[in-house]
Amino acid sequence: MSNPTETPRGIGVSPGAAVGPVVQVRGPVRPPDNEPAPADPAAEHVRIKEAFESVARTLEERAALADETAQQILTATALIARDKGLQKAIGKELAAGKGPTTAVTAAVQTYAAQFEALGGYFAERVTDLKDVRNRAVARLLGKEDPGVPEFDVPSVIVAHDLAPAETATLNPSMVRAIITEAGGRTSHTAILAAQMGIPAVVQLAGATAIAAGTMVAVDGDSGEVTIDPSAEYQRDIIGKRERRRAALAGSAGPGRTKDGYPVMLLANIGGVEDAVSAASQDVEGVGLFRTEFVFLSRDTAPTLAEQTEIYTKVFEPFGSRRVVVRTLDAGADKPLAFADLGPEENPALGKRGLRLSALRPDLLDVQLEALGVAAKATAAEVKVMAPMVATAEEAAWFARRVRENGLPSVGVMIEVPGAAIAARHVMAEVDFGSLGTNDLAQYTMAADRMEGTLSDLLDPWQPAVLGLIGTACEGAKVAGKPMGVCGEAGGDALLALVLAGLGVSSLSMAPSKVSIVRYALGLHTMATCHGMATAALDARTATDARNAVLALAHEDLTALL
Ligand code: PEP
Ligand code: MG
C-alpha cells in the first residue's frame, strides 16, 4: 500500500485498522523542587490521607460503572490507595522533614522497589501503584488527575503505557485504536485490547511525542502507525478494513482447511461477562478459561458455593459447546492473595501454577468439586486442564484428582519446555494438551514476558519456539492425544497455518481474532500448511520464518494482513 508519509512501526497486538485524532493520556504531575516541610506534619498527613481516600473513591465509582474485568482491576487499585503500610511510610517521610508530595513520591518509590523485587504480578502492580501516586500528587497540588482526559469524538488513545485499569475502563465505541510506547505482546493491556476488539500497537518509539489532535492511521496487524496520513492513504487503510470486513463476513462456521481438515476455533475468556460475549459469537466454544482472572482481587479463597455459581454462569451460555477450564494459574505474574506462599527469588521459575496447587491441594479440591457440580448442572462439554505442568508424574497426579471429581476429560498445558520435550510421556497420562505459547516462548528464550523491550525474543515465530511446538505435537501424536494452542500465537492468522501444519487440532484466542484465522484456514489445504510448517522450521530467524510462510500464503489472505 502506498504510504508517502512518516511510518513508524511498533508491534501490532490487536487486529484491525483505524484512523482518528490523537488523545494523549495526561502524564503525571511532578512534585515541586525543594518543596518545604509542612509546619504541622500530623495535619498534613491527614490531608494526604484524605487525598488517597478520594482517589480510592474515584476508582470505586469508576468500578461501579465498569464491566467485570475492569471492576476487579479498579477495585484492586483502590485497595492500593487504602494500603495502611503505604500511609505509615508516608508518615515517616513527613516526620523526616519532607514536603507532602515529595513524601508521597519517596514512600511510593520505596514500595515500588519492594514490589519490583518480588517480581511477576507484584512487579506489574507497580503501574497501578504509580497510578495511585500520580492521582494523589495531582490532587494535593490542586491539579487535574493524570490519565485519559475527557474527549467527545472517537479517537486514538496514545500513552507511554496504559495501566490495565485504564485499558479496561475505555469505552470501546469512543476508542478507535490504542498506541503505547511501552508494553509487550502478552502484556495485560494487549490481551485486554484484543478482548475488547480495539486495534492496538505497542512498543511504538516516540508515541508520546505525537501532538494531541494529530490524525494518525493505525494498523493493528502490521504495527504500522502513519502520522498525518494522506487522504489517499486514509482511503487505502479504511478500504483495507472494509475489504477485510467484507472478506471475513463470508466466513462462518467451524474452522477447517480448504480440503476439510477440522481445526477447532475457540475463545479465550476470563470470567462470566467474557463468556456471555464470546458465546454470542461464531466460536466453537472456549479453549482457555483463565479462572485465576476471576479471583485476582480476592483476599479470601472463594467458597464451593461461590465457585459453583460462577462456573455454572460461564458454562450455560455455551449450550453443548466445549469449555476448557484451566485450574488456578496462581503465582508469578498472577499471585492470588489467598494462595500466597511468600516471596521468592524467581517467581516465574518458582512455586506457581500446578506446583502451587500441589502445595495447597485444598484449593484445587474445592475448585474441582465446584467444576464437577457446574458441569453436571449444564450441558457444556467441560474439560479441565492444569497450568505449568513440567513432568509426566505431575500430569498423572493432576489427572487422578480431576477424574476422582467425576470430570470426564483432563488435559495439561504445554508451556514448560521440559513438558514439550517429554510430551510423549506427559500426554500419555491425560486426554488432551494445550500449548501455552506465551510462557513457552518466555521459558524457551529465557526472556521475561512482562519485559516489552524483549519482544523480539518473545516472538512465537522464533524457530526455536516453533521447533518445540513441533516436538510437542509429535509427542502428542505418539500418545494418540489431540494438541491445541491457547497462547496469543493461535490468533496470528499466518502462524495459525503453521500450527495446523505442525499438527495442532484446535486454536484458542481472543474472539476478535477468530474470523481472520477461520478465513486463513479456509484458503489453504493441509498440504500447504505442512509445507509452511517445514519452511518455518527451516528458517534461521523469526523474520525469515514469517517471510517464508508469507511467500506461500494465498494472496487473498496476504492482502488483508
Ligand atoms: C500461555 O502461557 O500461553 C497461556 C495461554 O497462559 P497465560 O497467558 O495465562 O500464562
Ligand atoms: Mg501460561
pLDDT number for residue 243:
85
Residue count (the chain): 561
Same domain flag for 339 and 398 = yes
Do 378 and 418 belong together in one domain? Answer: yes
CB atoms within 10 A of CB 410: 22
Which ligand 1 atom is at minimum distance from the Cα of 489?
A: 3
Question: 38: CA distance to ligand 1 center in Å?
Answer: 48
Residue 170 lies inside a defined structural domain of this protein: yes
pTM beyond 0.95, yes or no = no
- Helices 304-315 and 272-279 pack at an angle, to 10 degrees, of 20
CATH number for the domain including 316?
3.20.20.60
Question: Residue 161 carries which side chain, given as an amino acid letter?
Answer: D
Among 486, 499, 508, 509, residue to substitute to test ligand 1 (most atoms within 8 Å of Cβ): 486
Shared domain check, 366 and 271? yes
Q: Does the C-beta of 327 come closer than 6 Å to ligand 1? A: no
Q: 487 CB under 6 A from ligand 1?
A: yes
**Do residues 308 and 302 touch, judged by C-beta distance below 8 A?**
no
Cα 485 to middle of ligand 1, angstroms: 10
Give the contacts of 200 (CB within 8 A, at least 6 positions apart): 12, 13, 14, 177, 178, 179, 180, 189, 190, 193, 194, 220
Give the CATH number for residue 121: 1.10.274
Query: What's the angle, vertex CA 193, arms to CA 554 and CA 516, rounded to 5?
Result: 20
Which atom from ligand 1 is nearest to the alpha carbon of 435?
3
The pLDDT, as a whole number, for residue 504 is: 98
Which one of 106, 140, 174 terminates a domain?
Answer: 140
Q: In sequence order, which residues have a C-beta less than 8 Å from that of residue 153 and are 6 or more positions away? A: 20, 21
In a domain, 537, yes or no: no
The residue to mutate among 439, 448, 458, 465, having the most atoms of ligand 1 within 8 angstroms of its beta carbon, is: 439
Q: Ligand 1: does its nearest atom lie under 6 Å from the Cβ of 44?
A: no
Q: Which ligand is the nearest neighbour of the Cα of 469?
A: 1
Q: Do 405 and 445 fall within a single domain? A: yes
Ligand 1 and 38: CB distance under 6 A: no
**179: domain CATH number?**
3.50.30.10
- Report yes or no on 349 lying in a domain: yes
Does residue 439 have its Cβ closer than 6 Å to ligand 1? Answer: yes
Cα–ligand 1 centroid distance for 415 (angstroms): 8
Residue nearest to atom 8 of ligand 1 (CA): 438
Number of domains into which the chain is organized: 3
Q: Tell me the best of 438, 458, 513 to mutate to test the pocket of ligand 1, counting ligand atoms within 8 Å of each CB and taking the most.
A: 438
- Ligand 1 pocket, 316 CB below 6 A? no
- Residue whose C-alpha cell reads 497420562 in the numeric block: 429
Of 466, 492, 509, which one is at a domain's C-terminal end?
A: 509
Question: Closest ligand to 485 CA?
Answer: 1
The number of the ligand 1 atom at minimal distance from the alpha carbon of 333 is 10
Dig out the grid coordinates for 549 from the structure. 510462510
CA distance 173 to 151: 12
Q: What pLDDT digit, counting tens, does each position of 101-156 carry?
A: 999 999 999 988 887 777 656 666 787 888 899 999 999 999 988 888 888 999 99
Assess whether the C-beta atom of 460 lies below 6 angstroms from ligand 1. no
Strand positions, DSSP E, 228-339: 264-269, 285-290, 322-326
Q: Are residues 266 and 330 both part of a single domain?
A: yes
**Residue that terminates a domain, selected from 468, 484, 509:** 509
Query: Does some domain include residue 79?
Result: yes
What pLDDT, on a 0 to 100 scale, did the predictor assign at position 164? Answer: 64
| φ and ψ of 378, to 5 deg | -125, 175
Q: Are residues 201 and 300 in the same domain?
A: no
Domain shared by 307 and 358, yes or no: yes
* Residue 259 and residue 214 share a domain: no
- The residue whose grid cell reads 482447511 is 257
Residues 269 and 416 in one domain: yes
Ligand nearest to the Cα of 436, by number: 1
**Ligand 2 center to residue 129 CA distance, Å?**
24
How many angstroms separate the alpha carbon of residue 487 from the centre of ligand 1? 5
Do 217 and 332 belong together in one domain?
Answer: no
Do 224 and 292 lie in one domain? The reply is no
Position 282 in a domain: yes
The ligand whose atoms approach the alpha carbon of 290 most closely is 1
Q: In which residue ranges of the chain is pLDDT below 50?
A: 1-5
Cα 20 to Cα 150, 159, 199, 238, distances in angstroms: 16, 15, 12, 11
pLDDT value, residue 337: 83
Q: Is the CB of 290 under 6 A from ligand 1?
A: yes
Provide the residue range defining the domain that includes 72. Answer: 41-140
Which ligand is nearest to the Cα of residue 293, counting in written order? 1
Domain-embedded: residue 235: no
To 5 degrees, how large is the angle CA 217–CA 219–CA 223?
115
Three-class SS string for 52-65? Answer: HHHHHHHHHHHHHH
Residues 124 and 185 in one domain: no
447: which 3 cell numbers? 526472556
Q: Nearest 5°: phi and psi at 438? A: -65, -50
192, part of any domain:
yes
Q: Give the model's pLDDT for residue 3.
A: 43
> Ligand 1: which residue has its CA nearest to atom 10?
439
CA of 415, closest atom in ligand 1 = 2
Q: How far is CA 273 from CA 62, 195, 280, in A?
A: 17, 11, 11
Atom from ligand 1 closest to the CA of residue 288: 5
Between the alpha carbon of residue 272 and those of residues 268, 298, 317, the distances in Å are 12, 16, 9
Residue 408 maps to a domain: yes
Pair 312, 83: CB distance under 8 Å: no
**333 CB within 6 A, ligand 1:** no
Q: Is the CB of 486 inside a 6 Å radius of any atom of ligand 1?
A: yes
Residues annotated as catalytic are 188, 486
